[in-house]
Amino acid sequence: MITSGIEEKTFVLNLGPQHPSTHGVLRVLLEMDGEYIASAEPVIGYGHRAHEHMAENRNYHQFLPNMGRVDYLHALAFNHGYCMAVEKLIGVTVPERAEFIRVITNELNRITSHLLWFGAYLMDLGAFTPFLYCFDDREHILDLLDRITGSRLTYCFFRFGGVPKDIDDDFISGVRTFIKRLRSRWVDYHNLVTKNVIFIHRAKGVGVFTKEQCQLYGITGPSLRGSGIPYDIRKSEPYSAYPLFDFEIPIGDNGDIYDRYIVRLREMEQSCRIIEQALNKLPNGPIMAEKVPKRLKPAAGEVYQAVETARGEFGTYIVSNGDIKPYRIKLRVPSFSNLSLMVESFKDNLVADVVAILGSIDVVIPEIDR
């Protein structure tokens, strides 16, 4: 293009696929006009593992460990969604105590996910200290979950009909101690990050998602709530024991990076509220339903079950044809939709803001490359 004798050119810049700020094997093709982004195209598929195809070649029990590998940061929510879908398919009712244990461990896992995002994201922006604080707190939860699940990351704790292990007094006291500790850290987090003038300038008014864009792309989770839409599956389509607890849905005002950050910070406090209520109301009773078949062979039919993960709505759609293996399993993951909107939010921003916007969405690449 020639304008007044000056040739205007754009050039293509590769972000990834092997770059620390992409938090996985993601490649983003950036068309640059100087320091500004003219267009962007995410290139996915570098870590594709065919989870959905694997489901068609395994029985229902054999596929359960896969859930912890789809979203390894909030594996228990994926465990939960898949188990609930299968339980709905076979007509099993989970005991109340098991539902409470599922909620407690689920919310602890949600906090670990948000803490990892918090620390890693600030490191992307050049701040190292918050990472140390977040991982220090996160280790306490991992120790607690390790005691009952045997894992520290890719959990496979839930079972069809309940949970395999009960929680004891040591676990309960440990959780209460951790919640007290985490609440004492809010002041540190706010002083380090929320009130940090450098972070404020990097985050406010940058990477704005409008309500209309969120609805158009099917955005869910903190990225949606940061834009002011109070949609949370735990409230909108209540499941498990969540209807028994009182908690709020944090939302933002402007839909920018800063709002998405604040929403996740407040969500951790709401998770603490839910856990405390669940511990206070924890009922006695069995932790597994009676007469759950060891070899599942559901009648022909189809089910869909959605749950709220740390990144948004995770849906499990199962089609059974009466065999021991699912005829079809389709996983609706939040990161795929959230990543799609990122492309629009990049336009006309500086290349320096790309990492800030991408990190604020909190995508997990194995979710997308499922």
pLDDT at 24: 83
At 171, list the tokens: 């676990």
CA distance 235 to 242: 8
pLDDT at 330: 96
Nearest-Å Rg of the Cα atoms of the chain is 21
pLDDT at 2: 43
CA distance 5 to 95: 76
Judged by DSSP in three states, 165 sits in coil
Tell me if 367 sits within 8 A of 335, measured CB to CB.
yes
pLDDT at 1: 44
Query: In 10 A of CB 72, how many CB atoms?
Result: 16
E strand or H helix that includes residue 333: none
Is 168 buried (19+), middle (13-18) or exposed (0-12) by CB count in 10 A? exposed
pLDDT at 217: 93
Per-residue pLDDT of the chain (370 residues; tens, 9 = 90+): 445 555 668 999 998 888 888 888 999 999 999 889 999 999 999 988 899 999 999 999 999 999 999 999 999 999 999 999 999 999 999 999 999 999 999 999 999 999 999 999 999 999 999 999 999 999 999 999 999 999 999 999 999 999 999 999 999 999 999 999 999 999 999 999 999 999 999 999 999 999 999 999 999 999 999 999 999 999 999 999 999 999 999 999 999 999 999 999 999 999 999 999 999 999 999 999 998 998 999 999 999 999 999 999 999 999 999 999 999 999 999 999 998 888 888 888 898 899 999 999 999 998 998 8
**Residue spans per domain, the chain:** 48-365
Query: In 10 A of CB 73, how many CB atoms?
Result: 24
pLDDT at 19: 82
CATH entry 1.10.645.10 includes domain 48-365: yes
Is 1 buried (19+), middle (13-18) or exposed (0-12) by CB count in 10 A? exposed
Mind giving me the DSSP string for 261-302? HHHHHHHHHHHHHHHHHHHHT---S-SB-TT--SS--PPSEE
The predicted model scores a pTM of 0.95
Mind giving me the DSSP string for 54-118? HHTTS-HHHHGGGHHHHSTTSHHHHHHHHHHHHHHHHTPPPPHHHHHHHHHHHHHHHHHHHHHHH
Alpha helices in the chain (DSSP H): 51-55, 60-63, 67-70, 75-90, 96-124, 129-149, 169-189, 197-203, 211-217, 222-225, 233-236, 257-280, 334-346, 354-361, 365-368
Query: In 10 A of CB 235, how many CB atoms?
Result: 14
Those residues whose C-beta lies under 8 Å from the C-beta of residue 306, and which sit 6 or more positions away, are 81, 233, 237, 239, 313, 314, 315, 316, 332
